[in-house]
Amino acid sequence: MSKTSEEEWLRSEIPELTGPTVWNGVKILGSGAYGRVGLWESIGPDNTPNYIAIKEPITFNLEFQGNYDVASTHENDEDDDDEMVKLDYEGQIQLMLCQTKSQHILALAKDPVRVPKKNGSYRVARLLMEYCPLGTLGGLLDQRKKR
């Protein structure tokens, strides 16, 4: 992903974060072949910062304007190898794990953003998650192995 597209994404308005609280993109936490994760911040009334990590497929370019119906960016809506399927799977697992209400499981800040497919089903287009300042699970596991 180019530096310009990263900066544009961080400056973009995330529809799920609109309202009285102002959220600003801070930095890209990570990106790969299938998606990207960015950090958004808001400042609370007591000047306490609040953070949300937003994950979405890189190729998913949705012109929101309050309308999720323009979502399909893939010619082959049935392709089970694309990044939206992977995010959809991750979203489904995250929803199941959140039901445990464990303090040890990263929480979703909001329900996954879903968009319609051509066949009438839905796919997850964006995950808004609790921010973990300690890094990725993989990074934490690597640190643990080194001890």
How many folded domains does the chain comprise? 1
Predicted local distance difference test score (pLDDT) of residue 121: 78
pLDDT, tens digit (0-9, with 9 covering 90-100), for 78-101: 444 466 677 878 888 888 888 888
DSSP-assigned states of every residue in 68-128: GGG----S-TT-TTSHHHHHHHHHHHHHHHHTT--TTSPPBSSPPEEEE-TTS-EEEEEEE
pLDDT, tens digit (0-9, with 9 covering 90-100), for 38-60: 999 999 888 889 999 999 886 65
Q: What is the CATH number of the domain that holds 83?
A: 3.30.200.20
Structural domain of 79? 3-146
The pTM for the full model equals 0.74
Predicted local distance difference test score (pLDDT) of residue 1: 60
pLDDT at 71 over 60: no
pLDDT, tens digit (0-9, with 9 covering 90-100), for 23-32: 999 999 988 7
